Structure 1
């Protein structure tokens, strides 16, 4: 067999030679480093066989690298990665997996309400003759944006004046944020929080792996319950409250009286109090007192308490003071609540921009119909 003629790299300019040396010193990709090394060895006068031996390659591979470099230049040093093994399951099967995962099992005659991956795999094989692994199904669903999630409940507002009430509340929020209220006027969001009883409550926290904090599972409720009346001042972002044993109309009226007496916090202007349709708020004596003391009760639509800005403050209050707790007494629990309220009041900022990008801001928005 005739010996193959030796192949050498074309003559390089000083800049090309310097660039080649730099690649051999700094390249992190193994393929690029080996190709650059073979080319550099050829520049130094070594044969293709000798260059291949230096980098544990076959002589034919070294010749192909040198030929490619002579034709393409430095682009020949970059590896041309392929797309990997072709997908075993095409778009039709993938669409079938996703469609079936979104279909309740009872609609296809199976006696359960939700899929597990193994049950989904079994049904695909039995009903559609698609033999696929659990891991592949998981990857197909993940790539398609289908996630395992908890179901959620919702309640539509059937208030015939929903749009009117919602627009009134949003207008108050916007005017308060822009300073367009009447002189001295304030918008106060008021609601009740509770009942506050004494019991261990689950929560979350940072703990060593596998060693979370433990709370007692059995308990006896003692000490009765307490109720929190709270108000959120949009102008300052501060929260103020009172704790009472009951939440009747007289307690609500007493809380409103305290709002009017806090002259240092609220000037003598009109108070716009946003609240829900809880029956003590609708009492005639409450309405009469508000009329005579410059207080306007602005009611949220039925089943639309999410329009009351204070609800988000209650969520944070529950998360940071109640979740993960097991207070021994109401005194300890109320001290924790008081400490949290003092903390948020020190860090309070005026409340602005209520749901600015939400669909409720659209002129044609209507509530969901149950």
Structure 2
């Protein structure tokens, strides 16, 4: 008869880490369920009972246990972010922004300013990414979107970091608002406009690119924070 699949004997450090993850279950669902599987197995529960406990397939439970027995706590790190794979590169984003801030006539287009429909005169659907701010969900906005064949793509609740434009807000704050003391709101607005014009004229400048990379890293780090929790420490 085949030996039942079970987790090997846990070290004190492994046991403490798994209990910590389970207690902070809302911090990272990616590692929370595997941690529950491992603790349940260490407590003597067999695979069928374990699978029922965490509402998972028995094959998944076996795979998690085997992976833990091979590489310890490193099995809790999937090595990838959730959601769909990224389709736009940083260069693609820069190209879109540079095009949007250049007058159409300079690019040989037969109109004087950009609009959503002018950018896609073939009538193809256009998708706009935005968060769940109440101003974005009103009847007027939805009516306009329907009339212009625009699909409003809302980010999940408390996940505005999923909008790629967020990476450009950090450098804007850094270059115009940090440690500033503008005389008035119009003066602050003028500073923002000057910064945007300078950024659009120097999209490949090393300082601009470094600031954007730093902001992207900061935004992506927020993906592990849920329900008031703190990001999990990297697995040793």
TM-score, scaled relative to structure 2: 0.46
Higher relative contact order (CA 8 A, sep 6+): 2
User: Which one has a larger percent strand, Structure 1 or Structure 2?
Assistant: 1
User: Which one has a larger percent helix, Structure 1 or Structure 2?
Assistant: 2
TM-score, scaled relative to structure 1: 0.31
